């Protein structure tokens, strides 16, 4: 929600993979216990042959504002999707992507930080205690 693109990204993902597949992915995620571990998330979704590449693409979409075409093995196993290609769905989303803040920098070529700002070390976001 912080990027302002939640609804647009959801609609983009649904357009690419279809309502049924997105619904199954979200149902699988919702079925995980609320106190799920990274291991449970990896087993149920990230390492799942069908859901894993899609979930990783969703993560990459949030961080880079780019949808990457699903891997050839996914397309061979589950079928090619008409809208599945590498592209930036919303050109202005790039400047609001999460990659810059996550690495303590600005998006390359966008939101310049000023003259000689490259001489200063990046400022990293604090790590929440629950993530340590």
- Give residue 114's pLDDT band: very low, low, confident or very high (50, 70, 90): low
Token couple for 97 = 């992507």
Which residues make Cβ contacts (< 8 Å) with residue 12, sequence separation at least 6? 61, 67, 89, 90
- pLDDT, one tens digit per residue, over 49-84 is 999 999 999 999 988 889 999 999 999 999 999 999
pLDDT number for residue 3: 65
φ, ψ of residue 4 to 5 degrees: the values are: 85, 10
Tokens encoding 40: 């449970």
Which residue carries 């490259």 as its tokens?
Answer: 118
Is the pTM of the predicted complex or chain greater than 0.85?
no
């Amino acid at each position: 929600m912080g990027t302002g693109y939640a609804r647009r990204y959801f609609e983009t993902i649904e357009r690419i993979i279809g309502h049924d597949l997105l619904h199954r992915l979200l149902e699988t995620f919702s079925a995980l216990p609320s106190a799920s571990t990274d291991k449970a998330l990896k087993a149920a979704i990230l390492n799942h042959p069908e859901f894993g590449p899609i979930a990783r693409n969703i993560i990459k979409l949030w961080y880079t504002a780019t949808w990457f075409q699903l891997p050839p093995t996914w397309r061979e196993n589950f079928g090619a999707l008409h809208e599945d290609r590498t592209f930036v769905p919303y050109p202005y989303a790039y400047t609001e992507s999460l990659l810059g803040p996550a690495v303590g920098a600005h998006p390359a070529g966008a939101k310049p930080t000023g003259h000689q700002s490259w001489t200063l070390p990046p400022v990293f976001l604090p790590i929440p205690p629950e993530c340590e």
